[in-house]
Amino acid sequence: MDKRSRSGVPMTPAQLRRLARAETKATGADNITSKVQTLDLKSDSAPSAILCYQKVVLKVEFFSRTVCLGQADPLACYVSSLVREHRWFSLTRDNTYALADCDLRGRTKDRQFQLVQAVNFETAAGESYVLFLCSCDEAREQHERLSATSCVVTGEDIRDFAVREEGLYCLHARAAKHIIATPLSVEVEGDEEREDGPVEQLQTEPFIAAAHDGDTYGILKRMGDGGKLCCVSCSGRQKSCAHVSAYKEWCRDRNVDSNLVLTVSSEPRFESVSTSPVPYPFTQEMREKFHRYVHHTETFPQNLVPDVPAGACRHGHDWDDRDPVAQEWIQHVGVCIYTRYATITDYYAGPDGQQPRVVFYRPTVGDCGCRHMYDGSADLLHNIDNRHMIFYGLLVDYLHSMVEGRQPLKTMERVCNRTRSVCDLDNFKGIPYGILRQGWNTWARRLDIDWKKPMSVAKDAGIC
């Protein structure tokens, strides 16, 4: 049967919508999904299965288009909107998810998000069940009551406990249960992925971000014409709470203005402290430095010191040429350097044992507050944010893998981390994909390569 009425005339959009509504009400969105997943197109009934599949796809398509027009329940509308508009996000800490808020009809709101946390409850017998606890006002009583139990279920069967508590869910928690397939992630102590920082941007226009203060997440947005940063998750001190302070500290660590960072943009923003051009192919001096690193006759310095720039700062002040180490102009202590086979977090300084690497800045002689940061080019290091730096060898290795083998960046990250897990010690430190992605996208823009032209690495490097 094709998509035609009994008279043989193709159905109108209105007829198709009515058909979709009728079949959606009869089967439900969950059943639609399960039918798609259980089709066996290799069986003897393949032709009928294909027709059935076409009907199912039609129902899914029109379900997502018409479900928010008032003919379906708010939960179905909300779930459809979250998925279709990509308005829910998995945050990196505490098994927390950010979902765009909605009205009573399930339609998402532009400027509001709610935080939903997946919490595992257990009995003394070892039985467990995951519940979703929301930060909204409707779920506050349930959230506070269950948080006080220390996630331990006593005095009742855990199945009865789960049924009762899920019956009290707000719309956000009910939607999270439908969307999130694996709510709990394993967090390893000292996990490098957490080094990305406590701030995660949820939306660019208008600006909305989630900030973690060490205990909980808070939703931040800008209020009024001046764009004053405000936390909508805290009931008091909303412009100076711990979440706002965490955001501002995150900005300071990256030497950016908290009033300007994460501004409106339709594209991902890749920025790094290092900005100077990178010659390609490498110069003779760079090749000699690379050779010494690879053959372990030279190591990365403990003190990462910026040079003295020629000229003045943008305010006309000369740069202070004194030694930043002696003056203790410290930008960050504990720099992490990523190479192909290692994540270097310590500098081995002989009898004093392990000493952390320190990155310094250089001020001006004036009172303008300008700082010249460590670029890293002289040491073949790409400085991302004064905390994370990537060795040129890893980046140029991926450049050649991408051009010659069309290797995705995610594959590079997996290969590096798999090699480390197999060959390194038990406490190996992997490369976070977010750091590698930011490092590659900013370093590639520094390369002296015209990306608009076809490129052959062998030819451009002069090794044909």
Confidence (pLDDT) at 455: 54
Confidence (pLDDT) at 273: 94
Confidence (pLDDT) at 392: 97
Confidence (pLDDT) at 252: 75
For helices 46-66 and 13-27, angle between their N-to-C axes, nearest 10 degrees: 100
Are 342 and 430 in contact, with CB atoms under 8 Å apart?
Answer: no
Helix, strand, coil distribution of the chain in percent, nearest 5:
35, 20, 45
Confidence (pLDDT) at 239: 84
Confidence (pLDDT) at 109: 87
Would you list the domain boundaries of the chain? 13-72, 82-179, 193-253, 284-460
Are 219 and 113 in contact, with CB atoms under 8 Å apart?
Answer: yes
Contacts of 311 (CB under 8 A, 6+ apart): none
Confidence (pLDDT) at 43: 35
Q: Which residues of the chain have pLDDT under 50?
A: 1-13, 16, 23-67, 69-71, 186-196, 263-267, 456-464
Task: Say how far apart CA 58 and CA 41 lie, in whole Å.
Answer: 18
- Helix or strand holding residue 129 (H, E): strand 128-134
Q: What are the tens digits of pLDDT across the range 340-351?
A: 988 898 776 666
Confidence (pLDDT) at 198: 79
Confidence (pLDDT) at 184: 62
**Other C-beta atoms within 10 Å of 310: how many?**
6
Confidence (pLDDT) at 208: 83
Q: What is the 3-state secondary structure (H, E, C) of 158-195?
A: HHHHHHHHHCCCCHHHHHHHHHCCCCCCCCCCCCHHHH
Task: Say how far apart CA 254 and CA 387 lie, in whole Å.
Answer: 8
